[in-house]
Amino acid sequence: MRILFSPLGDTDPVRGCYDGAMLHIVRHYQPERVVLFYTHDMAEKERRDHRYTRAIRRTAPDCVIEEIFTNIQEAHLYESFSKILPQEVLRLRSENQGAQILLNLSSGTPQMKTVLAMLAADMEGCVGIQVASPALRSNRTNEATQDAEDVAALLENNFDEEEGAKNRCDAPPLGIFRYYAERSRIRSLIESYEYAAALKIARRSPLVPHVAVTLLAHAEKRCALRTEEAKEILREYKGKKLFPLSGRAETLVEYFLIMQVDQETGRLSNLMLRMIPFLYEFLRDYVEQNVLPLRELSERRGGVPYLVRDKLAAREPALLAHLDAEFPRGYSEQPLSFYILHHVCTYAEERGSARDVELHTELMTELTKITRVRELRNSVAHEMTNVTEELFRAKMGIGSQEALSAFARMLLLVYGDKVRPLRSLYRDINTWTEKALEIHE
């Protein structure tokens, strides 16, 4: 179904023996319904001789006509119609879901035409139609239709009724302006790594390229740590493997990248809440690889690993003595934690007992920088503290960027150079997405 929404002007319904814009759209688009939007002056003309409705009925006898009469007297001022005009278009669209709403961009004041063009550009289902003058140039030299003219004679002497008369209607590609607005919003959102919101905009737009939607869908899943789903969407891009790691290394690096996003966006409370789980999982994997066989010294209770005292006494008595000295009442069995693993690493450094002593020394250099993280983490967890950069530095002795750099170096030491290019992963995705969005330039 087609519905024409049209303001009216002095060129309507006929001017200089040719259709005005409203009538020309009716003639060539044959809408089932026309909604006429009258200012005070145009309403007076209609009441005097019914020029607009008579012209429509002559050209499209079966067309339903709806009239909106307003008291707008200064139609050249935006504020005189800035509420009612958009409201009527929105109402029409809302009440006629699935219909194509044609907006006449060539009748009414320039201000009205501008507002309608903006609505056509921004609203799905609305199409702006402009009508060229018969001379295909400025219409200023052609006098406006006078109030006293015989409307019947005007309609009878209309060259546009002749067979073969030119169709002067055009639907300019206003959607491209909507695309520019959508692209701007997407760019702004991905700068803050808000991929879910950016993806929602991209999926609603028919103009956003498929490759950009794919990149955003991948980033949205990946940023939510739904790694396997992200892999299903995209495993490599332009020859670059997006998942060069596997197993525990992949899991830890993916988690680290989210911490990096938190740091870059200033969500330091989130960052701090992630740091202890990250350090625990990292040290558990590292200790198993390079320090001692944790699995042989632990047992699972209720799904949680415990470092067992009897196993330590049998296999690692010196480590047990170290732990007994560190705990005020000696070591009692408890769930494995970052705190315990840090003591294990300290013990290995003091004894020089790591399998790769040089690696362990380098790792401990980085680990020493962030051991105060536990204090700030407790503040976040128990006091609902808003972690600012100042508070972070006061508690940790280093800034959030320095802490992230220490984590990155730890990952590089243990998992190798494949970690390095992943540090810029989300920035790379943003760059690729922006380039994909430039297809309409």
Domain match, 272 and 151 both: no
Mean pLDDT across 89-104: 96
- Domain boundary pick from 150, 172, 194: 172
Mean pLDDT across 281-302: 96
pLDDT attached to residue 439: 66
Domain at 152, CATH number: 3.40.50.10770
Domain match, 115 and 261 both: no
Structure confidence by residue, pLDDT tens digits, 109-144: 999 999 999 999 988 889 999 999 987 655 555 555
Residue 12 lies in a domain: yes
Domain match, 149 and 251 both: no
- Domain boundary pick from 115, 138, 172: 172
Structure confidence by residue, pLDDT tens digits, 234-276: 999 999 999 999 999 999 999 999 999 999 999 999 998 899 9
Residue 185 lies in a domain: no
This prediction has a pTM of 0.77
Percent of the chain at pLDDT exceeding 70 = 93
Domain match, 253 and 161 both: no
Structure confidence by residue, pLDDT tens digits, 39-78: 999 999 999 999 999 999 999 999 999 999 999 999 999 9
Residue 309 lies in a domain: yes
pLDDT attached to residue 147: 57
pLDDT attached to residue 153: 86
Structure confidence by residue, pLDDT tens digits, 2-28: 999 999 998 899 988 999 999 999 999
Domain match, 149 and 295 both: no
Instruction: Give the Cβ contact number of residue 93 at 10 Å.
Output: 18
Structure confidence by residue, pLDDT tens digits, 309-343: 999 999 999 999 999 999 999 999 999 999 999 99
Domain match, 124 and 253 both: no
Residue 264 lies in a domain: yes
Domain match, 135 and 32 both: yes
- Domain boundary pick from 156, 172, 188: 172
Residue 228 lies in a domain: no
**Where does the pLDDT of residue 106 fall: very low under 50, low under 70, confident under 90, or very high at 90 and above?**
very high
Structurally, the chain folds into a number of domains equal to 2
Residue 369 lies in a domain: yes
Residue 241 lies in a domain: no
Q: What is the rounded average pLDDT for all residues in the chain?
A: 92
pLDDT attached to residue 395: 84
Domain match, 310 and 419 both: yes
Note down the domain range covering 122. Answer: 2-172
Domain match, 21 and 120 both: yes
Domain match, 153 and 271 both: no
Domain match, 166 and 292 both: no
Structure confidence by residue, pLDDT tens digits, 136-146: 655 555 555 65
Residue 178 lies in a domain: no
Structure confidence by residue, pLDDT tens digits, 369-401: 988 876 655 555 556 668 899 988 988 899 999
Domain match, 281 and 375 both: yes
Mean pLDDT across 169-186: 91
pLDDT attached to residue 194: 98
